[in-house]
Amino acid sequence: MTFRSPLLQTYPTRSDPHRLLKLRQRSTWVATLFLLIGIPTALVWSRLPPADGWGYWLYKAHDLIYLPLKGNIYTRFLPLSMIALILVSGLLLAWLYFFVNNQSMVRPLHIGLLKVVLKLPAARPLLLRSARILADRGLYAHLMVEVLDHLRVRRLDGFGPTSSAKHAAELAQITLFQLRLMGLPGMAEDHPLKAVLAFEEVILILRKSLAKEQRGLLPKLAQAVVVFIPPLAEIRDVDTLKQEDPGWSPFSSRAFARDILALAALADSSLAPFLPGDLRMDLPALALEKGAAQQLALSSALRRSVLDNLRRYLEERHLLNRESALSALPLTPLRHLNKEQLADWGRLTLGLVMDRACLDNHPRSALTYIDSIEALRLAMALCSPESDPDEQELCLGFEQLLGRLPLPRHYRLCNQLVAAQLDNRLQQWQASSLERSDLVRATDFTMDYERLYDLAQAAGPDLLPSAGDGS
């Protein structure tokens, strides 16, 4: 559990695993350049070399190269040249700093400009057309996608029970623009997982929050994300692992593609023309809330069983000091996925659990999955450096899969679901004959509302939603 506000996080930065190596190399290059220029300059300035000996060529270069340059560029235009020299020297030092640290000098300015322009709805069609023209020439708007994703997450993390329909519409517009940008030729195959993750994180919130006249955005979002479902289904990393170990089947790319298709069908059931035949499934059935909820419930149960099996194995082996009932590790170690991709799979998994809870209005399914995450995290802490290497590697993979989950917005959503459930229960009691007896009293609901306060606090102090008054 973390209380760090997502609203305080900075704009995206790119990490380079070879940054320290490049830092040493570039520092060496710059130091060598300064020595090659500085040593001859110091020798000429100190007049140590003999003019009729080996220092002749140093003085010759000073007279033929340095003095004409200084006279024509600096002395001739004084005092304006002094201002220009200060500006050029400042820019050169700034460039050297960014070069040595392997950073872009214009990236912060670029991000700041995109931040301003992307908030203007009228500018987005022009940006999309420009990005399409550049994409046809092999220049892809990756930085714009990163900034858009950050804007979307900030609005998503700031979305609460009191958020207006206008706030929801802006969130939908940003997500739609991001999906259309990522779906440009040459980009759709690069990051299908990030695209469907953006869609999943907003779609069910928008279904409950958009005003009636804004509901036309939902089919547009579904049509924008369906472009990514075939490339998502073709991600081979987890599927390759699944062939070696059937236990990974719930985490296969095709399993996630089916779940995203169920969510998209809720918004627009006429998606068949966009999909290959083997991915169309039964779209009319999935377009019903019951059908989509059943699809997500099955997937969530299977993924939770993966977490629980590993947790039980680790507890029996390290906590109870006995051989596990499982003769070997319940899963093959995660060797095929990088850290970032594992984190995205984890966010998508928990997000789909939350979607199922919203469709069913059943917060217990989401809270149970969160409990499984916390229990597995505690069990993985039992692993020691002397543990089996495969076991350590599997635990490391799950640490990356779980990451910082659950996030504050997951707790906030649970808070809202539990609050609605408790309010409904309280209203049913008040409307029944029990309200006029002493069998049930308002104070009997106090313990339930205390759980609600805990979830509200876990959502983050600056995002504390209404927890009800319990009266």
SS3 assignment for 424-453: HHHHHHHHCHHHHCCCCCHHHHHHHHHHHH
The whole-angstrom separation of Cα 247 and Cα 306 is: 7
42-60: pLDDT as tens digits: 888 887 777 777 777 788 8
Structure-token match 């629980």, residue found: 308
Q: Are residues 40 and 91 in the same domain?
A: yes
Q: With respect to residue 379, please indicate whether it lies within any of the assigned structural domains.
A: yes
- Which of 9-23, 402-416, 447-461 is the most confident on average? 402-416
- 312, 386: one domain: yes
In the predicted model, what is the mean pLDDT of the chain? 79
pLDDT tens string 205-253 = 888 788 777 888 888 898 888 888 888 887 766 555 555 567 777 888 8
- Indicate the residue among 406, 426, 449 that finishes a domain: 406
> Are 360 and 297 spatial neighbours (Cβ–Cβ below 8 Å)?
yes
Residue with the larger pLDDT of the pair 294 and 327:
294
To 5 degrees, how large is the angle CA 28–CA 29–CA 34?
A: 95
Are 387 and 340 within one domain?
A: yes
Confidence of residue 16 (pLDDT cuts 50, 70, 90): low
Same domain for 417 and 365: no
Please report whether residue 470 resides in a domain: no
Q: Tell me the whole-structure pTM to 2 decimals.
A: 0.73
168-177, 253-262, 276-285, 362-371: lowest mean pLDDT where?
276-285
288-318: burial string, b at 16+ Cβ within 10 Å, e else: eeebbbbbbbebbeebbebbbbbbbbbbbbb
Domain span at 347 = 294-406
What is the rounded average pLDDT of the residues 322-346? 69
Last residue of a domain, one of 406, 429, 445: 406
The total number of structural domains that make up the chain: 3
Alpha carbons 4 and 334: distance in angstroms, whole number: 29
Rounded Cα distance, 464 and 456, in Å? 6
| pLDDT for 13 | 53
First to last CA, the chain: 29
Q: Could you give the C-alpha distances from 47 to 33, 44, 71, in angstroms and in order?
A: 22, 5, 21
Flag the least confident range among 13-22, 101-110, 409-418: 13-22
What distance in Å separates the CA atoms of residue 371 and residue 351, rounded to the nearest whole number? Answer: 15
Residues 401 and 419 grouped into a single domain: no
Cβ atoms of 306 and 246 closer than 8 Å: no
Report pLDDT for 436.
Answer: 61
Residues 6+ apart with CB under 8 A from 52: none
What are the φ/ψ torsions at residue 96 (nearest 5 degrees)? -60, -40
* Residue 227, domain member (yes or no): no
